[in-house]
Structure 1
Amino acid sequence: MMRLGTRASTLARTQSAWVARQLVAGGEGDSDGFQLVNVSTHGDRDRTSPLTRIGGTGVFVSAVREALLAGEVDVVVHSLKDLPTLPADGIRLAAIPVRENPADALVTREGVSDLAAIPHGGRVGTGSPRRAAQLMLARPDLEIVPIRGNIETRMAFAERGELDAVVLAAAGLLRLGFEARIAESFDPWQFLPAPAQGALAVEVRDDLNPESDLARALSELDHAPTRFAVTAERALLRALEAGCSAPVAAFSEVSADNRLILKAGVYGRNTTIVRESRTDTPVTAASAEAAGRALAKDMLASGARNLLAEEWLA
């Protein structure tokens, strides 16, 4: 039986169970072929401190990876946007499945239909400096309220009327069946998401037998257009030397003719740097990586380093 390591949240277990079903029986199997093993992470234990205070990048990842290296599990699944951009010794990113909706979404209190309908001075919750920055660009009058917690906890702030709205990743809402709660889904080319938002990462130990059934199933699960897109986004994040809690956004897609389009933003309180690039030749893993690094270099030359040091959320 395959043992799959996961955080214990409802979303993490839902994502992990979906991956497990793909690996066990091409999506048609049941739980008899796998076991989900809950792993408690620092980010799960500390539910009140802002992510910028408790470590940011890797706060939801390290303990799960430790279980993999210790042989306690055979496979681990992460939300790829939580994964540090540098590789981990002894671990291989074996599959990136097809990406779910990468957009950010607005969940509102009763009577508020979308962002434009929030009253002047309204209160919107998010724990993300990137989301806070873009909300303030769109609506400078809003009060941005730092919040933490799982999806249900964050939605409840709006549903109880404590906040006018909260901003969440559409992917999580869709995976948990909460699509009816989405009041507005932002265009990811305009309200840029976090690098790799909506994508999953499936990791194994790097000594996995490449001829094993698991290795073959992982190869089939990997989705090349998604891998190329998130490779570019994460290469940009790494070149900027910015963590997952920094006010950095990036979104990339592979076009029908196999060209990569990449757009990114770095947000300061008084300055915003947004850049876009397109590849001239069919995309490869190497060219996606290069595209991310090149766009980051352009942004750094325009002053992005100073913006990364600015504080958005208390």
Structure 2
Amino acid sequence: MTALRIGTRGSALAVAQSTLMLERLAKATGRDVELVTIASEGDRTQASLATLGGTGVFASALREALLADECDLLVHSLKDLPTALHPGLVIGAIPARADARDALCARDGLTLDQLPEGARVGTGSPRRVAQLKSRRQDLEVVDIRGNVDTRLGRVGDDLDAVMLSAAGLSRLGLLDQATELFGLGFWPTAPGQGALALEVRDGDSGPDLTKGLKALDHRETRLIATAEREVLAGLEAGCAAPVGVTAVVDAGLLLVSATVYALDGASRLSASHGVTLEPSGLASQLADVHEVAGRVVDELLANGAATLAPLGDSAKGTDAE
């Protein structure tokens, strides 16, 4: 019996995430599972993610390989995956979410408030730029690219700190490099941050892979990640738009909160709405998700979000590392 093939980028974080799914799929299916490394446009250039367009920078080559039957499934960081469905592909599983928070990794164990005036902080995310500026207008925020080790290596060299995701650091065994973790209540992160998405060909998974996907899918994570991504889609926002969204499920109540920032962090708009989830099947709960996400979007747009930040045609991607 041939092995199931997972398509992955070659970065240390992508391989770590895909290896985690490999182990779980092998256990769930009883099949051998192997990794197939695929280079993406985002891996071939050090240009700013915002200038590259954001959406699909890391996903396009992977998806082409999946459609060409060079692999059987893909493992994505969900926050890097475009919100629009790709023809012929579906998200087969969203496993349980890891820590969705942002992490500051600073020299000398400093927190954000302890950084000296004019400190240089690196990030490739316009959302994080706006949030940093919202807290500390004096900071010099530097646009950076590269893998996690490369970014961390600049701390104490030409940068005082970098911003990364707690989930990524944890998956690489580097969470001890974080000097501050930001609570989601006042520092919302990218829709889907901390979650992974397993993408497969529509209707072409086979019984073993279908069984494995079902075992890995986590309903609560699917609901909250879908809510967050529907807010992003409704705003027609992406990597050029500083938007943070957080959804939580508590005692059957889904609460969705979103904040749109001005690019310079000088102002922001927030909206929060909740809905009691129907106790029945996933389809009815996803309908609840769609309804509450729509209310968040409507309030933000009615209050002027489109004049505050680049939305619509001016925002063509997702928040990326």
- Report the TM-score when normalising by structure 2: 0.91
Partner of 1:263: 257
CA distance in 1 between counterparts of 2:271 and 2:277 reads: 19
Task: Name the stretch that deviates more: 89-98 or 271-280.
Answer: 271-280
**Within 5 A, what are the aligned runs for 1:272-311?**
272-282=268-278, 284-309=285-310
Is 2:148 the partner of 1:151?
Answer: yes
Q: CA RMSD in A?
A: 1.7
Q: Which has the higher contact order (CA 8 A, sep 6+)?
A: 2
Is 2:137 the partner of 1:140?
Answer: yes
Partner of 2:235: 240
CA deviation after TM superposition for structure 1 residue 92, in Å = 1.1
CA deviation after TM superposition for structure 1 residue 209, in Å = 4.9
Partner of 1:181: 177
Is 2:194 the partner of 1:198?
Answer: yes
Partner of 2:221: 226
- Report the TM-score when normalising by structure 1: 0.93
CA distance in 1 between counterparts of 2:5 and 2:309 reads: 39
CA distance in 1 between counterparts of 2:229 and 2:96 reads: 16
Tell me the alpha carbon deviations over residues 252-302 of structure 1, each in whole angstroms, 9 at most, x when there is no partner.
1111x1211111111013320011111134471121122112201110111
Q: Give the 3-state SS of the residue equivalent to 2:154 in structure 1.
A: helix
Task: Name the stretch that deviates more: 111-120 or 188-197.
Answer: 111-120
2:23 to 8, 18, 21: 21
Partner of 2:122: 125
Amino acid at match of 1:229: I
Is 2:159 the partner of 1:163?
Answer: yes
Partner of 2:282: none
Tell me the alpha carbon deviations over residues 22-77 of structure 1, each in whole angstroms, 9 at most, x when there is no partner.
111149x8xx8111001110111012x11111121111001001100001100111
Amino acid at match of 2:272: E
Partner of 1:59: 57
CA distance in 1 between counterparts of 2:242 and 2:43 reads: 22
CA distance in 2 between counterparts of 1:286 and 1:44 reads: 37
**Within 5 A, what are the aligned runs for 1:36-75?**
36-47=35-46, 49-75=47-73
CA distance in 2 between counterparts of 1:22 and 1:288 reads: 28
Percent identical pairs in the alignment equals 44
Runs of 4+ in 1 over 4 A off after TM superposition: none
Tell me the alpha carbon deviations over residues 156-176 of structure 1, each in whole angstroms, 9 at most, x when there is no partner.
111x33111111011000000
Whether the 8 Å CA contact 2:28–2:211 is kept in 1: the answer is no
CA distance in 2 between counterparts of 1:221 and 1:298 reads: 35
CA distance in 1 between counterparts of 2:50 and 2:7 reads: 25
Mark the runs of 5 or more structure 1 residues left unpaired by the alignment.
none
Amino acid at match of 1:300: L
CA distance in 1 between counterparts of 2:199 and 2:41 reads: 19
Whether the 8 Å CA contact 2:260–2:308 is kept in 1: the answer is yes
CA distance in 2 between counterparts of 1:216 and 1:244 reads: 34
